[in-house]
C-alpha cells in the first residue's frame, strides 16, 4: 500500500502566512472602495437636493423657503410631507451617517457626532407640523440662501435673497454634510477642537466634519456637486458678505499651529 501524504506543519504555516499577507493588502483596499461608494451615494443625494431646490426656486420667483419667523431656522417644516418625511425621502441621509440621534423610541444618543444623523424632530413649530414620521437627516442648507424678510442693512448685505441671482454660483454652497439642517457659517469661526465632538454653535463647526476622510459632500448653487476639503470650507462664498480670504485661509495668514490637532495635517487653502 502507498503511503498517504498530507501537509506538513511548515507548509500549513506558509499558507496561513500568505493568506494573512493577502488579507492585509485587500482589507484596506476594500475599505477604500466602500468609502468611495458611500461618497458617490452622498453626492448623488446632494445633487438630488440641489435639483429640488432649483425646481422650487424656479416656481417661486427664484426664491427658496423663508424659514419660519421669528427665528427663521426651521425651513424643513415648510417642505411638503413627502420631502420632509425621513422614512419616505431617503435622500436626507449621507450613507456614512444614517444613525439617528433620537430614535423612534425616543432614545437619545449622548453625543451627536459626525456619523450621526440629526433628528428625529417630531414637534410642531409655529403652526407647522413635522409630518407623519418627523424630520431627520444628515445634511444642512446654507441658510444665507433662505428668502427670509431682509429687514436690516446687515441682512441685506449677507443674504442672497434668491437662488437665481447668486454670482459665481459654483463657489456658493447650497446643501452639504452637516450636523443640523441650518447652517450660518462665519469666516472668523474656528473648527471644533475635537474631531468627533458635537457642534457647539450654529457656525462652521456644524459642517466642518471629517465625514469623508478629510472631505464633506457639497452641492453648489449652480447645480454641481463635489467633495470639498475641510479647510477649503473657509474659502467658499457662503454669503454675500463672507470674506473668502479671511482668518482661516492661507490668504488671510492662517498658520499650521492655529488649527486643532485633528485637522492640522490636512491640505491648506
3 is a domain residue: no
- The pTM assigned to this predicted structure is 0.86
Taking residues 138-163, report their average pLDDT: 87
Least confident of 5-19, 119-133, 207-221: 5-19
107 is a domain residue: yes
Query: With 90 as the cut, is the pLDDT of residue 210 above it?
Result: yes
pLDDT of residue 31: 64
22 is a domain residue: yes
Residue 77 domain boundaries? 10-258
Taking residues 233-251, report their average pLDDT: 96
269 is a domain residue: no
What share of the chain in percent tops pLDDT 70?
Answer: 88
Number of structural domains (the chain) is 1
Taking residues 203-216, report their average pLDDT: 92
268 is a domain residue: no
pLDDT in tens, 184-196: 999 999 998 888 8
pLDDT of residue 18: 73
pLDDT of residue 187: 93
112 is a domain residue: yes
d(CA 258, CA 263): 10
Query: All 3 cell numbers of residue 41?
Result: 451615494
89 is a domain residue: yes
263 is a domain residue: no
Least confident of 47-56, 145-154, 220-229: 145-154
Query: With 90 as the cut, is the pLDDT of residue 197 above it?
Result: no
pLDDT of residue 30: 60
Amino acid at each position: 500500500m502507498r503511503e498517504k501524504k498530507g501537509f506538513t506543519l511548515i507548509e500549513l504555516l506558509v499558507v496561513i502566512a500568505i493568506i494573512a499577507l493577502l488579507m492585509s493588502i485587500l482589507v484596506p483596499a476594500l475599505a477604500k472602495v466602500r468609502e468611495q461608494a458611500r461618497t458617490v451615494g452622498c453626492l448623488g443625494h446632494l445633487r438630488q437636493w440641489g435639483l429640488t431646490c432649483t425646481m422650487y426656486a424656479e416656481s417661486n420667483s427664484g426664491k427658496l423657503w423663508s424659514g419660519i419667523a421669528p427665528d427663521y431656522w426651521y425651513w424643513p417644516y415648510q417642505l411638503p410631507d413627502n420631502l420632509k418625511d425621513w422614512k419616505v425621502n431617503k435622500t436626507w441621509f449621507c450613507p456614512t451617517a444614517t444613525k439617528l440621534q433620537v430614535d423612534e423610541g425616543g432614545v437619545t444618543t449622548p453625543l451627536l457626532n459626525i456619523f450621526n444623523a440629526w433628528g428625529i424632530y417630531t414637534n410642531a413649530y409655529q403652526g407647522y407640523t413635522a409630518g407623519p414620521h418627523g424630520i431627520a437627516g444628515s445634511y444642512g442648507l446654507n441658510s444665507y440662501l433662505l428668502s427670509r424678510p431682509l429687514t436690516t442693512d446687515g441682512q441685506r448685505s449677507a443674504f442672497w435673497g434668491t437662488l437665481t441671482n447668486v454670482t459665481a454660483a459654483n463657489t456658493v454652497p447650497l446643501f452639504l454634510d452637516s450636523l443640523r439642517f441650518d447652517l450660518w457659517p462665519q469666516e472668523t469661526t474656528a473648527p471644533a477642537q475635537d474631531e468627533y465632538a458635537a457642534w457647539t454653535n450654529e457656525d462652521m463647526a456644524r459642517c466642518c466634519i471629517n465625514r469623508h476622510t478629510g472631505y464633506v459632500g457639497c452641492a453648489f448653487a449652480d447645480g454641481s456637486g463635489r467633495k470639498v476639503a475641510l479647510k477649503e470650507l473657509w474659502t467658499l462664498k457662503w454669503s454675500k458678505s463672507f470674506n473668502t480670504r479671511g482668518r482661516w485661509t492661507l490668504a488671510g495668514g492662517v498658520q499650521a499651529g492655529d488649527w486643532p490637532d485633528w485637522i492640522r495635517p490636512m491640505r491648506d487653502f
